[in-house]
Structures are given as C-alpha cells and as structure tokens.
Amino acid sequence: MKRNGIWQLWAVAIAAVAVLAVGCTWGDSPTIITVNQEQGQGNTGPTASPSPGTSGPVEAVRVSTFGTETCPGGGSPATEANSVRVGCFQPLTCTPLLAGGVPAPPGAHPPAPEAFVIILGDAAAELLAVENPYNRDLHGLSPGTVRVRCAVAGATPGDLDVSVLQ
C-alpha cells in the first residue's frame, strides 16, 4: 500500500508540472519598472513609474524651473521663485503629465516636445537648447517678464511666467 501511495503522489506531481507548463508561455517578456529620481520639496525618494502600457495618454504639460541658476559674470543668482537675473542662466524643464498630474514615464510621451519656446517677452530672455530636449536654459537679457510654453502632441500645453531681474 505504501508503494501505491508514493506512485500516486508522483503522478500528481507530474500532472501539476504538466498543467503549469501548458499554462505558461515561454516567450513572455518580463515586466520592466522604471524608477525616476525627482528632487523637490517634500520628496521622499525614488518613485516607481507606471508599468509600460498602463500609463494612459499624456493630458497636460508642466513647465518649471529646476537646478541652480548660474551667473558666469560673477553676479549673484536671484532668490525669488521663477526668476532669473540679467546675464544669468536658469534651467527649465518640460514635464508631460498623465491624469491626476502624475509625471509620464519616458515611453509614454514623444522623444521631444513639439515646441519649447518663449511666447511673450522675447526681448527680455532667450531659450537655449541643452542635451535633453525636455530641458532648456533661460538666459536673462534685460529686465521684464517672459512666458515660456512647452507643447507635447495631444496634451494641453504648459506655460511658465519668469521674471528677469536686474
């Protein structure tokens, strides 16, 4: 009787392996999770982006300053939010957003925005391209206010007003 019980267990184990093998597809790709490290006030560290294919369409765009303003001529950077001094450079970024204002992972938006331009006050500053097409350096030329717009296909464009200070 013991011998018969062992064979029954062995048969059940083989049947279970067969069921698992039939239920699995050998060519499945692994799920890839991208981790983004954004720095900002109140940030608690890296956050996982949505899984590819589940993120949904880009709905809007946010334009914001990031990093540190640099002044090659030795001037002191502006301390006011959304401002740049004449002769200085302030990095800007264009962030495509999913529903609820969540930043879109790189695969969910085009490799470059349709436009990243000054739409108001172009005498006060100029936008300079940098390596990443979603970033620009805003160079202050004369006191005034500029409005920078970034547009991504199918999404509401984002605007940012920046004061150029003496």
pLDDT reported for residue 6: 53
- Give a yes or no: residue 49 inside a domain: no
pLDDT reported for residue 75: 74
Per-residue pLDDT of the chain (166 residues; tens, 9 = 90+): 455 555 455 555 554 444 334 444 444 444 443 444 444 444 444 443 344 444 568 999 999 999 889 998 777 778 889 999 999 999 999 999 999 999 999 888 999 999 999 999 989 999 999 999 999 999 999 999 999 999 999 999 999 999 999 8
Q: How far apart are CA 78 and CA 68, in angstroms?
A: 10
User: What range does the domain containing 92 cover?
Assistant: 57-165
- Give a yes or no: residue 116 inside a domain: yes
Query: What's the whole-model pTM score?
Result: 0.65
- Give a yes or no: residue 25 inside a domain: no
Residue 62, domain CATH: 2.60.40.10
**How many domains is the chain partitioned into structurally?**
1
Residue 124 exposed, middle or buried by CB count within 10 Å (0-12, 13-18, 19+): buried
